[in-house]
Amino acid sequence: MAKNRTTAPPAEPALLTLSDRERALLRALGPWVGPVLLVAVGLYMVHYSWGRLTDPLVDFGRELYVAWRLAAGDRLYADVAYFNGPLSPYVNAAIFRLLGVSLRSLMLANLAVLAGVVALVYHLVGRLSDRLTATAAGVLVLTLLAFGHHSWVGNYNFATPYSHEATHGLALSLAGLAMLGAYLRSGRWGWLAGAGLALGLTLLTKVEVGLAAGVALGGGTLLALATSPLPTRRRWVHAGVFVLAGLVPIGVAWALLARVLPAELAWRGVLGSWLHATNPALSAMPFYRRMMGLAEWPRQLAWIAVWTVGYGLFWGLLAWVGRRLGDGARRSLLAGLVTAAVLLGLTLALWRVFWFADALMPLPVLLGGLLAW
């Protein structure tokens, strides 16, 4: 009697299967896809924007003039009036001496700073999420921020910035955050010293950037040391390393300025815009009050409340619709269509009533809520 034999079904052709070598190749190439894409986008944006990046008549001429005069031998704060810290003017003057006095020299240096900013954004966002999100963040920086031209004045980009203190300060702040993250992972005090050095350099740019960097790096270091398993004595040592490293750039800047300026004027230069920000004669000027949102502040608070309530009602309505629709792919699609329709309808109905540039007025409320949460 013959035994029953079960025959396996014929194997289907492996059209989509990968060999071990192909999998290894994909794993090897995976980390490089994002950086290569960012380089390609950056090169395209430079090519597309070259020669159309700056306004030669409005504001940016100051950045060129100050660096040119310093490169020619003038003294900042004595021969050239200036209201920010000394870092950026002397960096730009050094670029002019090295590459020659020209707009192209400064733009090339600024593009190098931009490359560092994008690399740091990719690194930091990648540490918080994944490579896809980090790549998307880098692309947004390049397309919307670095080469953006969102007003009639072409000064607000990274290649020809309105203020080099902003771009230099941002790059130094991100570098400080990256080094603080490396300290959190490794516990090596050298990284903490680097973060303190970056903060000290940032304080030599302008008050807005320096204040933000001080809160982020100073607060982050404080929290890191407060939760560290290190003995109390070593925590104090690491805190001292951070503070001393931050004071080094400030001391060096004062010493260099004091060689050509009176000591008091050198200190005023090192403090830069920190002194001007606390000058009541300047902070009371209508222009600065309007820029800071302090002009007609009751009206500003009222509009913040209006926009906040409007956002709350809008997202509350959509949340209620989503709960009524329930789960499922079709219902999710329907909820998305309802959202788009409501947004379009509100925009068409209110665009003559509201100034939509104020749509971000509730941002402090949102950030405060997120911080509290």
The predicted pLDDT at position 6 comes to 53
* Distance from chain centroid for Cα 254: 28
The predicted pLDDT at position 337 comes to 80
Tell me, letter by letter, the H, E, C secondary structure of 280-336.
HHHHCCHHHHHHHCCCCHHHHHHHHHHHHHHHHHHHHHHHHHHHHHCCCHHHHHHHH
Per-residue pLDDT reduced to its tens digit, 330-359: 777 777 787 778 778 877 777 666 666 677
Q: Which helix (H) or strand (E) holds 85?
A: none
The predicted pLDDT at position 15 comes to 46
- The long-range contacts involving 302-307, CB below 8 angstroms and separated by at least 24 positions, are 303/358, 303/361, 304/361, 304/362, 304/364, 304/365, 307/358, 307/359, 307/361, 307/362
- Tokens standing for 110? 């600024």
* Distance from chain centroid for Cα 103: 24
The predicted pLDDT at position 76 comes to 93
The predicted pLDDT at position 61 comes to 85
Cβ contact 107:159 at 8 Å: yes
Question: Cα(115)–Cα(142) distance, rounded to whole angstroms?
Answer: 9
Output the pTM of the full model.
0.79
Ranges of residues in the chain whose predicted pLDDT is under 50: 1, 12, 14-16
Task: Mark residue 100 as left, alpha or beta (left: phi above 0; alpha: psi -120 to 50; beta: remaining).
Answer: left
Q: Report the mean per-residue pLDDT for the chain.
A: 86
- Tokens standing for 109? 């240096």
Number of Cβ within 10 Å of residue 321's Cβ equals: 15
The predicted pLDDT at position 10 comes to 55
80 SS3 class: strand
The predicted pLDDT at position 99 comes to 93
Q: What backbone torsions phi and psi does residue 54 show, to the nearest 5 degrees?
A: -125, 160
The predicted pLDDT at position 57 comes to 72
